[in-house]
Structure 1
Amino acid sequence: METMTEEKEEVKSFKDLGICDQLIEACDNLGWRNPTKIQLEAMPHALEGKDLIGLAQTGSGKTGAFALPILQALLESSQKSVQPFFACVLSPTRELAIQIAEQFEALGSGIGLRCGVLVGGVDMVQQSLILAKRPHIVVATPGRLLDHLTNTKGFSLRTLKYLVLDEADRLLNEEFEKSLDEILNVIPRDRKTYLFSATMTKKVKKLQRACLRNPVKIEAASKYSTVDTLKQQYLFVPSKHKDCYLVYLLTEMSGSTAMVFTRTCDATSFLALVLRNLGLRAIPINGHMSQPKRLGALNKFKAGECNVLICTDVASRGLDIPSVDMVINYDIPSNSKVRSTIFVGIHAGILSVPCLDLGRTARAGRSGVAISLVNQYELEWYLQIENLIGKKLPEFPAQEEEVLLLLDPVIDAKRISHAKLKESGVKKRRGGDDDEDDVEKYLGFKHKKSKKMG
């Protein structure tokens, strides 16, 4: 396996890389003036028809690194015949799949590209109609793609020429592993395969041996790289006052955009309610929400209607959220396997796990701050993380007297929030229709119900 780590300083433009004029125009329309490092390193080999392993940070331009060569190959092949189901991109999350599809559609807008998205939370019949139009590119989560390969009449990937595994380290989690194995068994072996990952774990190495042929390995960031512009800090807090410290940080950074990572889905909804009751524009996103509601919350955050996103690991990897000033890690994972395997995933300063996404604020050279709240029960776990990253983080300066001035309003906000959630739960047990909508309307993301949505 070849390894490429040296940056090609002499290559400055997409044209120098061999990208055709139609796609260069699409890049211009997207504001892509010059290739990023991962694009400089990966695209020449992709255009030569080689398999790739790309170790790249979020926000590095890796979608373009695999999308442009695929679209160029599609253009060249379509001069001979129409090529439906030409490429498939697998993603671990619905939101990332949708984002990848949007980039493909933008790059292919001038060439008649058809792109289909297959993710959970959307009616399969609706998706079957998309597949009936024979899209060139399919972007999917593994479980839903396997559902369609098994149950949708007339759908197969026999014509597949390219397979992309994005965020491959997460695709190899237990929840995806079986589906991924079955997909690999039914797609053509004669294909090009691109594997992109934050880290080269043992499972990723095993997958590489199983489905890539003499790949070129591109390392756009070192295994334990950090971002100089990212200010990483911790704050040791008593467990009983953790909510006060969270509110203190958010009010100290008033007007900034912030992502708050929690360990559980329930915590996202509860914290969002608490913060709303204190006048902060917070909104939750988690895996228990339906797909339209997750996208609605994400779009409100991107649009600036809400400036605090309370999230689980659903938003911890890969999503293109253009500007985040601060990440607060409200929880640290208690699971030792999570700490030992996923916390190793440091790319561009990102510890890409629930509750410790330290690089979201410093993508593409931007500065930012990431603060981890560590209580007395989490100290040992946090010290293990410092050992992994090889350095001690400075403590965020906070005066306990100032923080505790917020204690009474926080207690009141928590009481109101508990009551609201309890009321919602009672309605649900009684068979009421609006139990979720009551809370969601209160949180600021009411969605119309659609018969087409699952």
Structure 2
Amino acid sequence: MGTARPAAAADPTAGAGSAAAAPANAKAATPRAAAAGAADADADAGGGAPAPAPAAGVPVPPRQGGHNSTPPAATTAPSTTPAASLAAAAAAAPPPPATFAEAGVCAELVDACTRLNFTKPTPIQAEALPLALAGRDVIGLAQTGSGKTAAFTLPILQALLDAGPAAGTPYAVVMAPTRELAVQIAHVFVALGGDLGVRVVTLTGGEDMMEQAVALAKRPHVVVATPGRLVDHLEHTKGFSMRSVRFLVLDEADRLLNMDFEAEIDAVLSVLPRERRTFLFSATMTSQVRKLQRACLVKPAKVSVSDKYGTVATLVQSFAFMPAKHKDCYLAYILHSLGGKTAIVFVDTQATAGRLALMLRALGYAATAIHGGLAQSARLEALGKFKAGERAVLVATDVASRGLDIPSVDAVINFDVPSYGKDYIHRVGRTARAGRSGLAVSLVSQYDVENFQRVEGLIGKKLPKYDADEATVLLLAERVAEAQRYAAAELREAEEARRERASRGGGGRGGGRGGGAAKGINKRRGAYAADADVAALDGERVKGVLSAR
């Protein structure tokens, strides 16, 4: 980093009035110690606690309704209704900043935003940036795709510029629930801060720990990590510590807790310094997230810009009901009706993802799979090819349901209806983004009815039936059955190849292809690589029956 910039004075009118002018708060050393101030944190997040002491020389307007408010005179007119009071308060509130400069972002970072075509702050950025730049801990509630990554990236980079060469390393730690999201966050840090000399390291599973340890030895300013791999380095990488960390970010906090990362998060919190700032972003405020808030934030400011469990108006949602044995036929029919547009097919298990990707490729679709069982390089390759348009269909588990920035997805197909209703919201949120239209279709068999009814109850409306004639769909049954046999045979051969490598002791993680498997697969015209992930076409593509109809 270059020389330190003079810190700008906090604007007491930015964001949330007096809250924006509050100084940074000291952090508790451990979750147990921080929990002692839980009541104060909850009250302040809801606006019911007294304003914290103002910084020296910064005027703070009195808070209406707080303990320091002036009592009304005896002759004051009777109070208005609560609704009228809320309306009056909303009318008196300052308008959200229309530009990044108005939000308090420095000129260097405004220029970086301009280069990335960030023309104006999104709603979550307009609400969170003034508070974060004024020194507050922030809880942000916003759906994926709302621009929240820049809402915590910009304050960290600006603080790093202010600190200059005196900033310790690592200066900030960001935890994300999935490898793909961690990589994406790191890209945003590099895009916004690369010209300023910011060094960023990504720590995720599936990659070589020694290479990551070498990168940590180069003293990065920002560490973006999945919780498990971050704890691995804390325990095993010599010389790596977080004593100098001044910012902690927990992104997609509800997903972090749903994935049982509580022990890892506790381990990280226990070694962080007391003097730090914390940003917590989540799609929903669950009881677990509230518990995490009390453990690691002090008097946070809470901002929310998302409707509870809502879907956008430009998303067309429907369902198709069929026997479970015909699901593959309906999937092929719907993909054909899209006419080559991009689609993400969500499934519940890794095995289903691999099988469907092979089956769809045998039917002539440019399909690839992404799931937690693949090596990290294979997952990134699959995602990269889908983003680049080299693959039109991405078959995915819920590792792709949150946070990933895929600019244009025309349709989402729920091959398996999620048992957890909120996952449906996140899945269909991959399409109809940034004002575009999109299609979401759920395949509902006799085993999915209960899950689908929960989804309808969550979103508060009954979905229409997808227009598909069963007799027409079943005309595809013979070709789909043939593609299913191709997929099953390749999966068997891949499994045999893995067992053979294991018996010879020459294995390593899957993703390669044994000689015996390759020989057997190449006997068949149009067969694909054994592993059900991102392998390229081995021979001539099997002619798709759907395109010939």
Shift of 1:173: 2.5
Letter in structure 2 aligned against 1:351: I
**Higher mean C-alpha displacement, 437-446 vs 93-102:** 437-446
Shift of 1:170: 1.0
Shift of 1:440: 4.3
Aligned partner of 1:375 among 439, 445, 453:
445
Which residue number in structure 1 is paired with residue 356 of structure 2? 271
Question: Cα 1:18–1:328, aligned 2, differ >3 Å: closer, same or farther?
Answer: same
Report if aligned partners of 1:437, 1:446 keep a CA contact under 8 Å in 2: no
Report if aligned partners of 2:491, 2:530 keep a CA contact under 8 Å in 1: no
Shift of 1:182: 0.8
Which residue number in structure 2 is paired with residue 331 of structure 1? 416
Q: How far apart, in 1, do the equivalents of 2:318 and 2:332 lie?
A: 17
Which residue number in structure 1 is paired with residue 520 of structure 2? none
Letter in structure 2 aligned against 1:38: I
Which residue number in structure 1 is paired with residue 377 of structure 2? 292
Q: How far apart, in 2, do the equivalents of 1:443 and 1:172 lie?
A: 29
TM-score norm. by structure 2 comes to 0.76
Report if aligned partners of 2:242, 2:273 keep a CA contact under 8 Å in 1: yes
Question: Cα 1:442–1:159, aligned 2, differ >3 Å: closer, same or farther?
Answer: closer
Report if aligned partners of 2:491, 2:532 keep a CA contact under 8 Å in 1: no
Report if aligned partners of 2:369, 2:534 keep a CA contact under 8 Å in 1: no
Report if aligned partners of 2:113, 2:192 keep a CA contact under 8 Å in 1: yes
Shift of 1:322: 0.9
Letter in structure 1 aligned against 2:149: T
Q: How far apart, in 2, do the equivalents of 1:245 and 1:8 lie?
A: 52
Question: Cα 1:10–1:167, aligned 2, differ >3 Å: closer, same or farther?
Answer: closer
1:124-154 CA-partner distances (Å, limit 9, x unpaired): 1100111001100000000000011111111
Which residue number in structure 2 is paired with residue 450 of structure 1? none
Which residue number in structure 1 is paired with residue 429 of structure 2? 359
Report if aligned partners of 1:282, 1:443 keep a CA contact under 8 Å in 2: no
Q: How far apart, in 2, do the equivalents of 1:73 and 1:258 lie?
A: 40
Which residue number in structure 2 is paired with residue 250 of structure 1? 335
Report if aligned partners of 2:179, 2:204 keep a CA contact under 8 Å in 1: yes
Question: Cα 1:174–1:98, aligned 2, differ >3 Å: closer, same or farther?
Answer: closer
Shift of 1:291: 0.3
Q: How far apart, in 2, do the equivalents of 1:176 and 1:436 lie?
A: 27
Matched, 1:306 2:382: no
Shift of 1:71: 0.4
Which residue number in structure 1 is paired with residue 312 of structure 2? 227
Shift of 1:444: 7.6
1:312-335 CA-partner distances (Å, limit 9, x unpaired): 01111111111100000000235x
Aligned partner of 2:205 among 115, 120, 131:
120
Question: Cα 1:446–1:380, aligned 2, differ >3 Å: closer, same or farther?
Answer: closer
**Higher mean C-alpha displacement, 115-124 vs 166-175:** 166-175
1:20-68 CA-partner distances (Å, limit 9, x unpaired): 1110111011110111100000000000110111011111110000000
Letter in structure 1 aligned against 2:446: Q
Question: Cα 1:344–1:48, aligned 2, differ >3 Å: closer, same or farther?
Answer: same
Question: Cα 1:274–1:8, aligned 2, differ >3 Å: closer, same or farther?
Answer: farther
Shift of 1:443: 6.1
Which residue number in structure 2 is paired with residue 215 of structure 1? 300
Report if aligned partners of 1:115, 1:136 keep a CA contact under 8 Å in 2: yes
SS of the aligned residue for 1:431 comes to helix
Which residue number in structure 1 is paired with residue 534 of structure 2? 445
Does 1 or 2 have the higher relative contact order (CA < 8 Å, sep 6+)?
Answer: 1
1:172-225 CA-partner distances (Å, limit 9, x unpaired): 135311111111111112211100001000000111111111111111112222
Structure 2 unaligned spans of 5+: 1-43, 48-88, 514-527, 537-549
- The structure with the largest alpha-carbon Rg is 2
Give the length in aligned residue pairs: 431
Q: How far apart, in 1, do the equivalents of 2:489 and 2:474 lie?
A: 23
Letter in structure 2 aligned against 1:297: A
Matched, 1:37 2:112: no
1:334-354 CA-partner distances (Å, limit 9, x unpaired): 5xxxx2xxx246xxxx623xx
Q: How far apart, in 2, do the equivalents of 1:141 and 1:233 lie?
A: 35
Letter in structure 2 aligned against 1:44: P
Matched, 1:16 2:94: no
Matched, 1:71 2:145: no
Q: How far apart, in 2, do the equivalents of 1:153 and 1:8 lie?
A: 50
Letter in structure 2 aligned against 1:437: G
Letter in structure 2 aligned against 1:314: V
Report if aligned partners of 1:46, 1:52 keep a CA contact under 8 Å in 2: yes
Letter in structure 2 aligned against 1:36: T
Letter in structure 2 aligned against 1:48: A
Shift of 1:84: 1.5
Superposed counterparts of 1:171-210, under 5 Å: 171-210=256-295
Matched, 1:94 2:179: yes
Report if aligned partners of 1:8, 1:40 keep a CA contact under 8 Å in 2: no
Letter in structure 2 aligned against 1:301: F
Report if aligned partners of 2:374, 2:533 keep a CA contact under 8 Å in 1: no
Letter in structure 2 aligned against 1:227: V
TM-score norm. by structure 1 comes to 0.91
Matched, 1:317 2:402: yes
